[in-house]
Structure 1
């Protein structure tokens, strides 16, 4: 695939992977992107997952013809991008590996490279000329590993953005929708490091960018302000959409009944968007994504062993690991003899910043009764005050 006259796509698609990073469901597969810049000197931008070595080399050979690459530029040492460094150097031993000091240190952890391997260690904002193309390296620590950097090609105005602006899904699917899988990818993979993403966005704002080439997902060529705005919202932990996520766990169905009734009441009372998540059965990453997408959330769970149900505890832990903040929260608890779930959840969420708690919450003692329905009416009224 041609990105520009001189920049070619040489990545691969993975349709066999079931869990990305061992935890994220990827029903539409995954793309491992790699690029080749053809100039007086040739630069290869990253490798691919180890399982696609032969396909990647085939793609490279089709682009290189009989030429040899001069540089292998490594933006990120995670194995889905770096696994073929040693294989590449065995095939093209005269290539110079270009990256930063932290990445070289990690490289030596992953590989026992020959001491004769040519290394070019670059510093932040250092430049490299390929001839016509001038490359500028910008460090992006913790987006999302500490060695990450991005590269700006001022000639074709291309930003090689590492994991930034990536998404779940192979590039040869029919799904052109970007937001959902890009959001789930961002929140799951990079979400903890919003401050670092903000720094990168600030650095990128001074660049004239016409194309973004991420390490996962499609190359972005049009309406770049849209994608950049999404990243600004996500990385600053601002709600993206007015609405309520109702997230629940239920043992015998009574807490589920309350959660579904709350969702129904919210819709009836004018809430613009209501999402619901069964934390025991639905994709946990989707639930976490929705928690960051919407401005309000209702957490519904049972008191369990004097604590809360394990899936709810896991869910809240995922939120806290990703710096959950700037939201309105409400609670529903269930307990036959000693309801304590609200107390436990509030205690867990103490480290979350700028959380507004509703005045009304719901306590169920075993099953829904008249007082439960009245409490649900008050809670849903409060949550929908903004929409009336």
Structure 2
């Protein structure tokens, strides 16, 4: 049983848990490296729990609270975000501490009743309200749609800590290290961007609003509900979220193709090779049937160039590619150069759909479109090379 708690300060405790059993976050996104559900406990004149954890981890979570508080009361439970991976243990906390006061905003209260039937002992807070804890104070800031409507953050002024709920979080269990100066950032950077692109990215405009709202705070530490605690360089994760929410991209190309019998993949390989010859060093290629959309979306968020290729299936887009395209549209991914190609046997449809997708997303669209009947001939591959050359040209012009 995971019962480890970590002192952040003498009166601030990390009491999060790791989940290495769940396969899919939100039953959609792979958790190849697990995930942490972070919770925090402030002790002193008043004892305050900041968020809970997924109900599957409630037993070890409650043990941590008891080990710290012993026979002392829990005065407040601050609920920054009501998604069940953070609110799932609320009723269990209330059962153990029936006098605890719940702190949240008006929309929090609505979700509390709808999810758990909880209606009493609630303190509503609004933008800029402060909860006086005697030796500490918590000030609340609303961050709606980062990434739920009730989402908010709190700032503890004594230690200058921002409790940021899902904002500034990431995928990946915390395998011993929990602080940013302890972790291997080469691993966590990709998992953090994947979390952003999969979960938060659709709401990038609201992320920008939140970053600007919090810019005036003197923040020495950021404590999110997923991923590492940022005690050494909190400005680093803020800078990354700022970059990602502005759709700032790196030079590189993601090629994603859907193929049944390998003909479309031949075209993809030809494009990739010419991109390398044109000096593009970061080229990522994915068979949409083998790589989960979560990982593909992560790379698309990072690189400016995107090339999609698909065989035609029943007069339309290859179904698995169609799913990826829908996820790209759902997440409102912006600021890309797009090229498309594809193949068909007796009737087209895939390339037409990809072109319409490019128009809908208002990408910088490469007009050199290649559609091949059955298998590509040498002149078809030469046309594919033109897509690569034009992509490289536009990438270099955008430097």
So what's the TM-score if we normalise by structure 1?
Answer: 0.95
Give 5+ residue unaligned stretches, structure 2: 1-5, 178-182
Question: In structure 1, what is the equivalent of residue 68 of structure 2?
Answer: 63
**1:359 aligned to 364, 367, 370, which one?**
367
**2:276 aligned to 259, 267, 278, which one?**
267
1:254–1:368 Cα contact (<8 Å) kept: yes
Question: In structure 1, what is the equivalent of residue 222 of structure 2?
Answer: 212
Cα drift, residue 387 of structure 1:
4.3
Question: In structure 2, what is the equivalent of residue 189 of structure 1?
Answer: 199
Question: In structure 2, what is the equivalent of residue 314 of structure 1?
Answer: 323
1:242–1:294 Cα contact (<8 Å) kept: yes
Query: CA–CA distance in 1 between the matches of 2:381 and 2:258?
Result: 19
Cα drift, residue 260 of structure 1:
1.8
Q: Over aligned residues, Cα RMSD in angstroms? A: 1.5
Cα drift, residue 207 of structure 1:
0.6
Query: CA–CA distance in 2 between the matches of 1:247 and 1:273?
Result: 14
Cα drift, residue 365 of structure 1:
1.5
Query: CA–CA distance in 1 between the matches of 2:40 and 2:176?
Result: 20
2:39–2:225 Cα contact (<8 Å) kept: yes
Cα drift, residue 212 of structure 1:
0.6
**2:208 aligned to 198, 201, 209, which one?**
198
Cα drift, residue 277 of structure 1:
1.1
Query: CA–CA distance in 1 between the matches of 2:10 and 2:369?
Result: 60
Question: In structure 2, what is the equivalent of residue 17 of structure 1?
Answer: 22
Query: CA–CA distance in 2 between the matches of 1:376 and 1:351?
Result: 23
Q: Which stretch has the larger CA shift, 169-178 or 87-96?
A: 169-178
Whether 1:350 and 2:338 are equivalent positions in the alignment is no
Cα drift, residue 173 of structure 1:
5.8
1:30-45 matched pairs, under 5 angstroms: 30-45=35-50
1:320–1:349 Cα contact (<8 Å) kept: no
Query: CA–CA distance in 2 between the matches of 1:178 and 1:139?
Result: 27
1:137–1:152 Cα contact (<8 Å) kept: yes
2:316–2:348 Cα contact (<8 Å) kept: no
Question: In structure 1, what is the equivalent of residue 3 of structure 2?
Answer: none
1:151–1:161 Cα contact (<8 Å) kept: yes
Whether 1:225 and 2:235 are equivalent positions in the alignment is yes
So what's the TM-score if we normalise by structure 2?
Answer: 0.93
Give 5+ residue unaligned stretches, structure 1: none
Whether 1:380 and 2:392 are equivalent positions in the alignment is no
**2:84 aligned to 79, 88, 91, which one?**
79
Q: Which stretch has the larger CA shift, 22-31 or 243-252?
A: 22-31
User: What SS does the corresponding residue of 1:248 show, helix, strand or coil?
Assistant: strand
1:211–1:219 Cα contact (<8 Å) kept: yes
1:144–1:190 Cα contact (<8 Å) kept: yes
**2:378 aligned to 370, 373, 376, which one?**
370
1:333–1:342 Cα contact (<8 Å) kept: yes
**2:128 aligned to 125, 128, 152, which one?**
125
2:270–2:385 Cα contact (<8 Å) kept: no
Cα drift, residue 254 of structure 1:
0.6
Instruction: Return structure 1 stretches of 4+ with deviation > 6 angstroms.
Output: none
Q: Deviations over 1:324-363 (max 9, x none)?
A: 221100011101233332221122343324x111132222
1:151–1:160 Cα contact (<8 Å) kept: yes
Query: CA–CA distance in 2 between the matches of 1:267 and 1:123?
Result: 54
2:20–2:35 Cα contact (<8 Å) kept: yes
1:82-161 matched pairs, under 5 angstroms: 82-113=87-118, 117-161=120-164
**1:298 aligned to 299, 302, 307, which one?**
307
Q: Deviations over 1:252-286 (max 9, x none)?
A: 10101111221122122210310011111112111
